[in-house]
Amino acid sequence: MTEQTTPVDDTRPAEDTTSAFVPQPRSEPLTPTATEPAATEPAAPGFVVPPPPVAPPLVGEPQEPPVKVKKDRRVLRAVLRWTAATVVFAAVGASAAYGITRMERTDVPGLATEADGRWDYPAITKPPLPSGSPGPFAGADKSGVHSADLRALLLPAPKGAKADASLRGDDGWLSSKAFLSQYAEKVDRETVGQMLTDYAVRHIAARGWTTPDGTRTRIYLLQFDTAAVAEELASTKLANYGGAQYALTGAATTERDEHFPAASEIDDITRFAYTESKPYGPEQVREAYLSAGDTIALVVQSHKGTAPAVPFQQTVVLQSQLLD
């Protein structure tokens, strides 16, 4: 009877130890336990303790795996932390959920600072589509046709901004002449004006505002008959890789904005972002052309001295989302 019960009593502590020693995340390094169950406890009277080679191996003996896991978890957290800081703006740019514009800065990883420069935009929602009309890039064909009211696709002004009454137009529609007035040279106004005639622009909608820090923003949406027409005009006539084709007032020369986050690009939207070349005039101008299906958007921001980059990028990305 003694030989039959000895292994049973000796095996129980080893099984309990195995279930209790599953590695768990801890704030301090794992260290060997002070006592070894089953191997150090005195045997009960009448029982024979088997030799060490026969006893089941104790899980507490190998300590390297838990320590290694702890180290890997620390490295993993570091990698995730840096990754979040690098791509957080892409979440603003590419996410279909626009609620990030309403989140507190402390709720956004990598932007937990009151001085990050972002504006407080209202909740962004796309306007309803006419019954039976798909989105511009829905389905396999991706016609690029914006069936929603073009005026409803304009980005709303951020909190505290003063509206630009000169861009209200007639019931929200802007004349070609008013749009062309932003180009600095008369010859450019005539050239671009002829393009709008040749490419048969259908509608122009605009909105503008000035924020308390003095930054002036203007957004223009130009809609054409087809996506092919709009894309050709935007990519071959108005914009190119190195800079804008026609100078806006206050920006004699422009260059490609190399600091605009590439991760914020949106599928089906072609973006040409520029910044005024140094030396600046009294104010710096930033501008971006967006080719979005049958619609071209022009976003312009200017500020005395230096125009801040973050609100410009934020504005361009949010306007892109509305057109997507």
Q: Is residue 80 part of a domain?
A: no
Shared-domain flag, residues 51 and 122: no
- Whether 106 contacts 112, CB under 8 Å: yes
Q: Which DSSP letter does residue 166 get?
A: G
Residue-range definition of the domain harbouring residue 23? 2-62
Q: Is residue 119 part of a domain?
A: yes
> Could you write out the DSSP letters of every residue in 98-134?
GGGGGS-GGGSTT---TTS----PPPP-PPPPPTTPP
> For residue 250, which of 282, 274, 227 has the smallest C-alpha distance?
282
Shared-domain flag, residues 159 and 297: yes
Shared-domain flag, residues 153 and 262: yes
For the chain, how many structural domains are there in total? 2
Shared-domain flag, residues 143 and 22: no
For residue 34, the SS3 value is: coil
Q: Is residue 82 part of a domain?
A: no
Q: What is the pTM of this model?
A: 0.67
Count CA atoms closer than 13 A to 126's CA, side-chain side.
Answer: 16
Burial 79-102 (b: 16+ CB within 10 A, else e): eeeeeeeebbbbbbbbeeebebbe
- Whether 255 contacts 275, CB under 8 Å: yes
> For residue 53, what are its two tokens?
């080679």
| Dihedrals phi, psi of 222, to nearest 5 degrees | -120, 120
Ordered per-residue pLDDT tens for the chain, 324 residues: 444 444 444 444 444 433 333 444 444 443 444 444 444 444 444 444 445 444 444 444 444 444 443 444 444 333 333 343 344 343 433 333 333 344 343 333 333 345 689 999 999 999 999 998 999 998 777 889 999 999 999 999 999 999 999 999 898 899 999 999 999 999 999 999 999 999 999 999 999 999 999 999 999 999 999 999 999 999 999 998 889 999 999 999 999 999 999 999 999 999 999 999 999 889 999 999 999 999 999 999 999 999 999 999 999 999 999 999
